[in-house]
Amino acid sequence: MFVEPRPKGRKEGEPIEDFVVETKADQPLATFPTQEAAIKWAREHNHTPHVVRTRHQAKPDHWREV
C-alpha cells in the first residue's frame, strides 16, 4: 500500500489537502486528513504502508516502508 499526499499534481509550496491510501494500481482505498492517520489505517488492515521520499522523483528508492 502507498500513502500519497494529494492533490497529486500539486506544485512545490502548494498545500496538501489530504492523504490517500492506494494500491499499486493507483486504486484509492481510503482518504485521511493526515499521513499519520493513513499509515495507522493501513497497518490496522494488515498492509505494509510506504510513503514518498521526494515527490516527482522516478527512482527505485522513491518509496520507503514505514
Q: How far is CA 41 from CA 7, 11, 48, 50, 59, in A?
A: 20, 27, 10, 12, 26
Residues facing residue 58 across a β-bridge: none
- State the residue range of the domain holding 50: 2-65
pLDDT beyond 60 at 60? no
| Banded pLDDT at 42 (limits 50, 70, 90) | very high
Q: Comparing 66 with 17, which gets the higher pLDDT?
A: 17
Report the domain count for the chain. 1
Does the pTM surpass 0.85? The reply is no
| Banded pLDDT at 59 (limits 50, 70, 90) | low
User: What value does the mean pLDDT take over residues 16-30?
Assistant: 91
Residues facing residue 51 across a β-bridge: 3, 64
Radius of gyration of the chain (CA): 11
Residue 44 grid coordinates:
490496522
